[in-house]
Structure 1
């Protein structure tokens, strides 16, 4: 390993550079060029340590952050992740990571560069979006470490912490808004009425409603079973997770609404409950424009955004509203988890823990202890 000075003439100017020459772990001759001798010496020390540890990656053989990101997407696809998941990865990669740091080679990244990237995200994006983009970047760096594409993971100890006050709180419909939506759905007809009761009172996900067939509706037992869903590309597949397979008892009002719709449609068991005109599952846009928006507009649950009148809250807010109603009624966290189809009870607490805390006031709980013990003494 050696460092030598290189001088050449360019036009009327004499230029100087410092060249580090060494052999990699496979005996191949490598060279790297630096503008100052100090930079070359610093790199010499780094390369010596990496060669000693057997973790050296040359600058010439290194790939860029953008290329490593594509490897990450390929891994997500090969692991069988849902298309919506890896498409979201790809969107964040292309919009937030590649424009800021994508052209840099992994071997040239330093902790200072990673910290500057983190600071750029915080300046340009909301705290939530910045944290998500940076977490994806760290996953890419971990993948580079796993594949021996980097000598050291310089992102490992760099953190992006946001204040708890920036934590996203879920959208909920107020109780009078729920009643307005249910009333409006009755005016609009059987399909809207069944849709409103299933979404506001039973916590279906948008994709679960699009993939629901009459086979999953058991009017004799008064239940709806979630066993499949339709993604945004209209592919029919299993629900979001294993725990999303669930059977939900129907409220009497929903049972009646669904029974009226079934009597009118006279469907076969494999027909969709909310099909498009060709009998296929609705797209998300059709679900919003043909079912959700008419209910919201009829109920007056709208807002003006940049001169356009839009629905007051997102469709997913109906799911959060269902959970809040169940919690307010005294359902246990475990029962809410099962009926909502959450993957774990921790997810339930993360989403609705503040509501559970409000319901289970400490003073009320301690009074209940007295009531239970003292009133039931032998």
Structure 2
């Protein structure tokens, strides 16, 4: 039987104690300074006991223990090493210092909301979403294993990401031509394929010759390589896709295959020994030098000993993916096709990033005018 009784502690403090039995029949109690809080707790606890989801405070584990169980399960489930490392980093940097020692049963939605509010404005919206996602996933795992009754992180209000959105930086056509012109001959096929297919750097690094259908002129994206040089599937189901290439690109790849270093993985863009090329090497030895040689640069704000400004490469490799999307759209591919070519998980993602590049209302008005003229003269 569940009851609430008034108690005077040895210190003289008056508390209201809620007594009840958990799902296993064990006697439990919890103290409150206000009777209304005790009533509210008991009402919730009794409902959780009936539903078989209640976890008493004394039986609850800490957030840190729950996080370790969550990370271990993610690894056991085959999540990529880089993904698990990102989860762990987010937890260690942001969640653990605030809540690591807190028991799951003691962590409330208002406490998490305050945490998110405190972080808002100190990081990008995407980084904040990762922090919230870590907390949500920790509790989701804990609830499914009986370590928590509810997920207080689930209904947290996140700030609007609208103001954080920026149009992606990408090279202009002139800059792309200049970069290609100043790229070392050995790496022109890599840069050219990146520009014309929109493939992610990880997908290009993991591309094997068996993925290139020379006769039909199609590249089959079936795998990627992570930061640890380990093979894995594309980022999502949509990442598994087929990208058409032109006859001239096919000819270029045929010529490159004869010169391509051979290795156990039969990679299209390996390093000099035929092994997986590191992402950092592609930046430091290939893409950034090509930009600097082409004059596609930005000032670092620092000057050398002669007083001349030190310049840096303007774009990351990912900018070539953005440039490819812009080229697809300019060519007239409909949004759904652009989504497919880019391997986006949803059409909404395509619109979120590249919506401003699709035809404007002025274009629509011109089409309506043409339709009207054709009909009415």
- CA distance in structure 2 between the aligned counterparts of 1:358 and 1:147, rounded to whole angstroms: 50
Off by >6 Å, runs of 4+ in structure 1:
371-375
Change (3 A) 1:31 1:245: closer
Secondary structure at the aligned position of 2:182 is classed as helix
TM-score (norm 2): 0.83
- CA distance in structure 2 between the aligned counterparts of 1:344 and 1:359, rounded to whole angstroms: 23
Would you say 1:209 and 2:204 are equivalent positions? Answer: yes
Secondary structure at the aligned position of 2:312 is classed as strand
- CA distance in structure 2 between the aligned counterparts of 1:152 and 1:269, rounded to whole angstroms: 50
- CA distance in structure 1 between the aligned counterparts of 2:153 and 2:234, rounded to whole angstroms: 35
Residue of structure 2 in register with 1:85 after alignment: 83
Change (3 A) 1:372 1:196: farther
Write the mapping of 1:1-378 to structure 2, written as runs, cut at 5 A: 1=3, 2-7=5-10, 18=15, 20=17, 22-25=19-22, 26-32=24-30, 37-38=33-34, 42-43=37-38, 45-47=40-42, 49-54=44-49, 55-162=53-160, 164-185=162-183, 188-189=184-185, 191-265=186-260, 271-305=266-300, 307=302, 309-358=311-360, 361-370=363-372
Residue of structure 2 in register with 1:12 after alignment: none
Q: Retained in 1: the 8 A contact 2:338–2:350?
A: yes
Give 1:153 shift.
4.0
Unaligned runs of 5+ in 2: 303-309
Secondary structure at the aligned position of 1:98 is classed as helix
Q: Retained in 2: the 8 A contact 1:17–1:33?
A: no
Give 1:118 shift.
1.7
Give 1:122 shift.
1.0
Secondary structure at the aligned position of 1:158 is classed as coil
- CA distance in structure 2 between the aligned counterparts of 1:242 and 1:163, rounded to whole angstroms: 25
Secondary structure at the aligned position of 1:125 is classed as coil
Q: Retained in 1: the 8 A contact 2:104–2:148?
A: yes
Change (3 A) 1:175 1:232: same
- CA distance in structure 2 between the aligned counterparts of 1:101 and 1:298, rounded to whole angstroms: 49
- CA distance in structure 1 between the aligned counterparts of 2:268 and 2:116, rounded to whole angstroms: 46
- CA distance in structure 2 between the aligned counterparts of 1:333 and 1:23, rounded to whole angstroms: 58
Give 1:338 shift.
2.4
My pick for the range that moved more, 139-148 or 223-232, is 139-148
Give 1:369 shift.
3.5
Q: Retained in 1: the 8 A contact 2:19–2:29?
A: yes
Secondary structure at the aligned position of 1:60 is classed as helix
- CA distance in structure 1 between the aligned counterparts of 2:249 and 2:225, rounded to whole angstroms: 22
Per-residue CA deviations over 1:14-69 (Å, capped at 9, x if unaligned) read x75758473531233445566xx43x772464135413541432222112223333
- CA distance in structure 1 between the aligned counterparts of 2:116 and 2:291, rounded to whole angstroms: 40
Q: Retained in 1: the 8 A contact 2:263–2:274?
A: no
Secondary structure at the aligned position of 1:221 is classed as coil
Q: Retained in 1: the 8 A contact 2:261–2:271?
A: no
Matched positions, count:
363
Secondary structure at the aligned position of 1:310 is classed as strand
- CA distance in structure 2 between the aligned counterparts of 1:157 and 1:246, rounded to whole angstroms: 35
Give 1:275 shift.
1.4
